[in-house]
C-alpha cells in the first residue's frame, strides 16, 4: 500500500473589467487529500480530504506501522496524526520549532530532525522529539556550514547516528546524543535523492 498526501489548486472566480469571469485569476484555493493506493493493481483504495490549515512541511512525515497512522508536520509546528482510511485528524501535538529532513525511529519511538528554533533561525540543531507528546527530548547545535539538502536523511540505529548531506555533497554522520560529527565523506557525484540502509 502506498500512502501519501497531495494537494489540488483551484481558483475563485474573479470578474474582470468586462464582467466576464476568468478561470485562473482569482485567489487560489488549496485542497489537501490523504490517499491510499494498492501498489499491486494501481487502484486507489481511498482518497479523503484533510484539513492541514496553512499547509505542511514537505520533509517531515512518516507512517506509524504499529498504529496504522500517517503523521504530518503542519506549518503551525504541530505534529498531526491522521487516520489514512478516513482522513480524520486523531491527534495534534505542539512542537514549536521548524523541523526538516526528519527520520522516524519506530524502535525507540523517536523523531530525529534538523531543527531551526524561531529565535535562532540561522543555526542548525539536531533535535529528538517524542512524537507521542511533541516534547523535545534533546537538542544539540551542529555544524551548519551552508546548510543541508532537504529530504536526504537517514538514521543508523546501531551507532545512533543521524545522517545528512550538506551542500558540499558531503555525507555527514552526527551522534544523536551529542551532535558531534562521527564520520564524513565526499560523494563522488552530486545526487538529488539518497536513501541510507545498513546491510
Residue 42 has a pLDDT of 95
The Cα 93–Cα 118 span in angstroms is 18
Helix, strand, or coil here: 18? coil
pLDDT greater at residue 5 or residue 197: 5
Residue 118 has a pLDDT of 61
Say yes or no to pLDDT of 19 above 80.
no
Say yes or no to pLDDT of 166 above 80.
yes
Strands 136-141 and 125-129: antiparallel
Count of CB atoms situated within 10 Å of the CB of 82: 22
Residue 21 has a pLDDT of 56
Lowest-pLDDT choice from 21-30, 39-48, 159-168: 21-30
Average pLDDT over residues 27-44: 94
Say yes or no to pLDDT of 24 above 70.
no
The CATH class, in words, for 1-94 is mainly beta
Residue 10 has a pLDDT of 87
Residue 22 has a pLDDT of 54
The model's pTM: 0.86
Residue 144 has a pLDDT of 82
Residue 15 has a pLDDT of 58
- CATH classification of 96-199 is 2.40.10.480, yes or no? yes
The domain limits of the chain are 1-94, 96-199
Average pLDDT over residues 17-38: 77
Residue 120 has a pLDDT of 56
Residue 121 has a pLDDT of 59
Residue pair 101/152 in contact (Cβ under 8 Å)? The answer is: yes
- The per-residue pLDDT for range 53-90, each reduced to its tens digit, is 999 999 999 999 999 999 999 999 999 999 999 999 99
Count of CB atoms situated within 10 Å of the CB of 181: 14
Q: Do domains 1-94 and 96-199 have the same CATH topology?
A: yes
Tell me which residue has cell 545512533: 160
Amino acid at each position: 500500500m502506498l500512502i501519501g498526501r497531495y494537494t489540488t489548486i483551484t481558483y475563485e472566480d474573479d470578474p474582470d473589467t468586462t464582467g466576464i469571469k476568468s478561470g485562473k485569476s482569482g485567489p487560489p484555493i488549496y485542497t489537501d487529500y490523504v490517499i491510499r493506493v494498492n501498489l499491486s493493481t494501481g487502484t486507489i483504495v481511498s482518497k479523503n480530504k484533510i484539513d492541514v490549515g496553512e499547509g505542511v512541511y514537505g520533509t517531515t512525515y512518516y507512517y506509524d506501522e504499529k498504529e496504522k497512522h500517517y503523521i504530518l508536520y503542519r506549518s503551525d509546528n504541530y505534529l498531526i496524526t491522521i487516520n489514512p482510511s478516513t482522513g480524520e485528524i486523531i491527534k495534534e501535538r505542539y512542537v514549536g520549532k521548524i523541523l526538516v529532513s526528519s527520520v522516524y525511529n519506530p524502535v525507540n519511538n523517536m523523531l530525529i530532525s534538523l531543527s531551526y528554533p524561531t529565535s535562532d533561525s540561522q543555526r542548525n540543531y539536531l533535535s529528538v522529539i517524542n512524537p507521542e507528546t511533541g516534547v523535545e527530548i534533546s537538542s544539540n547545535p551542529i555544524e551548519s556550514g551552508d546548510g543541508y539538502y532537504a529530504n536526504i536523511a537517514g538514521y543508523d540505529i546501531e551507532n545512533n547516528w543521524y545522517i545528512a548531506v550538506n551542500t558540499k555533497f558531503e555525507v555527514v554522520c552526527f551522534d544523536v546524543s551529542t551532535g558531534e560529527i562521527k564520520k564524513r565523506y565526499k560523494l563522488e557525484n552530486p545526487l538529488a535523492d539518497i536513501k541510507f540502509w545498513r546491510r
